[in-house]
Chains A and B, each alone.
Chain A
Amino acid sequence: MLPAELFEDSPDSGDESGVLRWADALRAAALIAVDPVGLGGVALIAQHGPVRERWIALLRSLLPPDTPVRRVPLHVRDDRLIGGLDLAATLQTGRPVAQTGLMVEADGGLLVLAMAERVSESTAARLCAALDTGQVALARDGLSEVRPARFGIIALDERIDDDRASQDERLPTRLLERLAFHLRLGDVSIGDVGLLDGDADGRGSLTGSPGPLAQAPDIAGARARLMQVSMPEEVMQAICTAALALGVDSLRGPLLALRAARASAALDARDTVSPDDASLAARLVLSPRATRLPGTPPDERDSTPADDNDSPAEDQSDDPAPDAESPDQTLPPENPPEDPPEDPQADDDTPPDKDPDQPDPDLSLDELILEAAKASIPAGLLARLAMNEAMASRGAAGGRAGARREGSIRGRPVGTRPGLPRDGARLALIDTLRTAAPWQTLRRREIAALALTSAQSSQPKSAPRSRSSADAIDSRSRSSKIEVRASDFRVARVQERAETTTIFAVDASGSSALNRLAEAKGAVELLLADCYVRRDKVAVISFRGRSAEVLLAPTRSLVRAKRGLSGLPGGGGTPLAAGISAAAALADATRRRGGTPVIVLLTDGRGNVALDGTGGRARADADARQSARRLRAAGHTALLIDTSPLPQASARELAAEMGAAYLPLPRADASAMSRSVQAATTASARTTNRGR
């Protein structure tokens, strides 16, 4: 329990959440040190800075001294990761030189991924395969060699703005899922870190027991004990129940929570997992993965101090809301106020329970763990989830599906460039040989001279030069083998057709809303259904009322389109400027990802809500024009479909400002729309390619 005096001097005394987060982060570090392989690792979401470095340093200090820790660079090549032939070295020495690969080198230790939010899907896939199977398969010449590669991953995610994270800048979900802890150190300040470090309690309370922790926790001992820790049936059930209640769909969640609970018990030199271990595990593992709030009593403030009384002989439970003195203050994000005050039963259950053996152990145990997990769900996460399901963590995977343009290995060949034939880059054999050809005489002479000096030095000076070595040198210089060096390699350069993302910005206001939305939906589904357009993605933005909203994030998936477009809301004013700006923003994001955006705006050109949400046609028009000009300045291809019954001058003018093609389409016609969009798309794709 942190004494209140500690907070008085600090300017951040109101911000306990940072301190609590840091305490949790330290606990996570200790658990990882105990079982890096079983827990998979940590996704550390924090900016590069002293707090993050501090955590990493602490983690390294906890690990046994000879643990291998390897840093994986962002665009690591396959052969560096998996292992294989080191071509350059091979050529240099003339005999095969293998490199083991980072994954095998890190066996038994950790791999640190820098800038993990930008790691490529293929690297993530390889890491996941190694995490799953614990080995790496090297294949050469029909032989398959399998080497053990059991490691944990520390993924350093440096994304800047969590809420607005473009889908590109996120750890691939498949990798994220296999890492037990997702730690956010964004709101931990130096002060929080410093406080704990200078604290008489040492590095905070790592195991939940009070008292000084001046010495490092016994990691080695914990590792030895880990296998013997037993898991009571009720605890396992409680964790699974909590996971289900929190909407953690994948079963990896509870599995990792189990392992974390075991590690916690081992750290504490216990041989059975206790409810506190389970609570800690639920908090660290399950709450970051929560996708919904279970419908349980919101009045945890009353129940949590009571829960504290449950755990015997401990003043401080592992909950982040343990401070019995000031429950209101320290309780981090609680339920949104809309939740109806639930049955007081829960409160009645817990106070009388003074020891774990009561008539209904499962219920209170489940509740206990669930409360622990719920209490630390970040409020922002749930609010976002409630608002916009499409952008939730499930959406992350869909967005990444198309973003694979590094390396440029597809497309038509357009010449060659120097480089090693790795990672799919095709060797341009003739060009390579052509580059090597002029150097042959020189290189041969060089080799001959080298061989001569080595032959001379290996023989005693007095002995005459033997005939065999002389012959060898002669034959070598006359051999037809081509001496190729690493710098001679040429690989084919390819030009890939950029994938197109069609962004529909639909005016969902007023009377024609439903018609227009239904058309847009139909056009979207037709575009997706056409299998030849498979390389392209579709997104839908709707604007009505005061703002614009992304209904469907860029996707190629019909399943996702149906889900995102179901229940189209309509009515309200026309915030035209907001719609155009939102479309432009999404187009920018697409371009950043390497795609080609095409914007299709469906409107009648008569906006009546300005950018800031206030009414007034004049202002709205001015704002709309300004947004249109900005869109044009950004150079995005656009198509404006005029949906008013008679072609309007306002729409035509707006199209001119946007630099967009103008198409009047008075009657609802999804197929005509999809045809014209396709025409615009191909036209834009052609111009893009020609330009490059």
Chain B
Amino acid sequence: MAFAFPFSAIVEQHEMKLAILIAAVDPSVGGVLVLGDRGTGKSTAVRALAALLPEMKAVVGCRYACDPNAPPGNCEECAALRAKGKPKTHMVRVPVVDLPLGATEDRVVGALDLERALSQGIKAFEPGLLARAHRGFLYVDEVNLLEDHLVDLLIDVAASGENLVEREGLSVRHPARFVLVGSGNPEEGELRPQLLDRFGLSVEVSTPTDLAARIEVVKRRDAFERDPKAFTALWSKEDDRIRQQLLKARTRLPKVTIPDSALERAARLCIALGTDGLRGELTLMRAARALAALDGVAAVSDAQLRRIAVPALRHRLRRNPLDDTGSGVRVERAVTELFDA
């Protein structure tokens, strides 16, 4: 079995780790966009998350690994299984699916099972990557190079939570609710604003400039590669701690309250920054609540809002191309003005 680099062994990159944890606690926050140069541990962090997440219950026999406790929804297979009686369940790992660069539409959406069609004459649906990512994470590397029609597709499916396939004589609808994690290098292209908006949080990563940190990264990576088993065992306690924190946060999440004062703060912040639409506020609130659950506090307060404002709002500011100030800086400035006033 291939070992993934332990999540807690990642050096620094606190913003990215926090954003990923928040997305894991509350998937409704929306996805995470990680922007940065290559070699900064973006894909390492996402794959590490896969190993970190606790297993989930799924219906045996359902191709999309549906949740047995959730309402039947639009999964035909579950409907068929339920008709026959209470379906059996088993524990499966949370899927983290890679969307490779150059993936074609039929691989992503799913297509006619050609082999069966031609050999047995049956019209069957061969699920694509979106089906595999249901209830898990879809990791899109180089998201800013993604082809336009795939971008449209992802936006659509992420919004509606289900995938509608109409091609080659098929008409299939299946659930596809996943957390989108994208990574990319902003120098290679701009992300379309519509896609940008779909991501709940965005973080910027860069290679540490501090020599000691760089040495530490190289040292850990080297140790991991020489003996993955021992290294993973070394960090398993820390990973367990994070996993427990995650689980507890998930149970706490419904009970966290958002006082009106916090709502007002968030709204003022968004007005000051001039974010488009209301998604900024919604994301800010959801993320702050998830963060409060992680921190173990009962209500959202300024502390959470401060920490999560930049990742939640940095990519929603209307970009003035002639203005050189980085968006993160603008958000920080607004936060200090508002909160310290």
Contacts and interface: CB of A to CB of B under 8 A. Distances in A.
Partners in one complex: yes
Interface of A: 38, 78, 85, 87, 90-91, 94-96, 120-123, 125-126, 129, 132-135, 137, 139-142, 144, 146, 173-174, 177, 227, 231, 236-237, 239-241, 243-244, 249-255, 258-259, 394, 397-398, 401, 404, 409-410, 421, 423-424, 426-427, 429, 480-482, 484, 522, 525-526, 528-529, 531, 534-535, 556-560, 562
B104 A558 contact: no
Contacts of B186: 557, 559
Contact of A134 (B2, B169, B215): B2
A242 to B, nearest CB: 11
A123 B112 CA distance: 24
19 contacts: A121-B145, A125-B100, A125-B141, A126-B102, A133-B2, A142-B131, A177-B38, A236-B219, A243-B214, A244-B211, A252-B38, A255-B222, A397-B187, A424-B106, A426-B106, A429-B168, A482-B121, A531-B192, A556-B189
Interface string B27-47: 000000000011110010001
Given A121-B101, A397-B187, A237 B321 contact: no
Given A129-B98, A236-B215, A249-B39, A481 B207 contact: no
B168 A122 contact: no
Contact of A90 (B43, B104, B115): B115
Contacts of A410: 147-149
B148 A132 contact: no
Nearest to A395: B187
A174 B38 contact: yes
A500 B106 CA distance: 27
- Give 5 nearest A-B pairs by CB, closest first: A122-B102, A250-B39, A424-B104, A125-B101, A529-B321
Interface in B293-341: 319, 321-322, 324
A188 B329 CA distance: 51
B156 interface: no
B267 to A, nearest CB: 27
Contact of B188 (A398, A409, A421, A426): A398
A534 B190 contact: yes
A94 B119 contact: yes
Contacts of B47: 133
Nearest to A436: B118
B113 interface: yes
B190 to A, nearest CB: 6
A528 B321 contact: yes
A398 B217 CA distance: 27
B119 A90 contact: yes
Contact of A240 (B131, B169, B215): B215
Nearest to B39: A250
B119 A562 contact: no
Interface in B249-294: none
B17 interface: no
A482 B39 CA distance: 52
Nearest to B192: A531
B217 A535 contact: no
B41 to A, nearest CB: 8
B84 interface: no
A526 B320 CA distance: 10
A426 B121 CA distance: 19
A142 B189 contact: no
Contact of A177 (B39, B167, B215): B39
B225 interface: yes
A38 B225 contact: yes
Contacts of A557: 186-190
A560 B187 contact: yes
A480 B121 contact: yes
Interface string B147-170: 111000000000000000001110
B236 interface: no
Contacts of A236: 215, 218-219, 222
Interface residues of B, number: 62
Contacts of B119: 90-91, 94-96
B39 A125 contact: no
B211 A240 contact: yes
Contacts of A141: 113, 126-127
Contacts, number: 165
Nearest to A527: B321
A254 B216 CA distance: 12
B238 interface: no
B15 interface: no
Contact of A254 (B121, B185, B214): B214
Interface in B76-122: 98, 100-107, 112-115, 118-121
Contacts of A243: 214
A121 B102 contact: yes
A444 B2 CA distance: 49
Contact of B322 (A135, A426, A525): A525
Interface string B193-211: 1000000000000010001
A106 B129 CA distance: 25
A477 B66 CA distance: 43
Contacts of B120: 481
A423 B222 contact: no
Given A87-B114, A231-B222, A236-B219, 20 more contacts: A91-B118, A91-B119, A121-B145, A122-B101, A129-B98, A132-B43, A146-B2, A237-B215, A240-B211, A240-B218, A251-B214, A254-B218, A258-B222, A394-B187, A426-B168, A481-B120, A482-B121, A525-B321, A531-B190, A558-B321
Contacts of A558: 190, 319, 321
Nearest to B227: A227
Contacts of B63: 142
Contact of B169 (A91, A95, A429, A559): A429
Most A CB contacts (10 A, CB to CB) among B37, B63, B218 go to B218
Nearest to B64: A142
B67 interface: no
A94 B120 CA distance: 9
A85 B119 CA distance: 13
B160 to A, nearest CB: 22
A559 B127 contact: no
A423 B104 contact: yes
B177 interface: no
B25 to A, nearest CB: 26
Given A241-B211, A251-B218, A429-B168, A140 B126 contact: yes
A176 to B, nearest CB: 10
Given A255-B221, A255-B222, A557-B186, A481 B192 contact: no
Nearest to A148: B2
B135 interface: no
A423 B142 CA distance: 19
A244 B38 contact: no
Contacts of B112: 427
A144 B115 CA distance: 17
Contacts of B218: 236, 239-240, 251, 254-255, 258
B190 A528 contact: yes
A522 B322 CA distance: 8
A355 to B, nearest CB: 25
B122 to A, nearest CB: 10
Nearest to B4: A133
Nearest to A150: B2
Nearest to B169: A429
A559 B187 CA distance: 6
B38 A173 contact: yes
A398 B187 contact: yes
Nearest to A238: B215
Nearest to B100: A125
Contacts of A129: 98, 100, 141
A556 B324 CA distance: 17
A78 B105 CA distance: 13
Contacts of B142: 125
A482 B185 CA distance: 49
A31 to B, nearest CB: 16
Contacts of A559: 186-187
Nearest to B221: A255
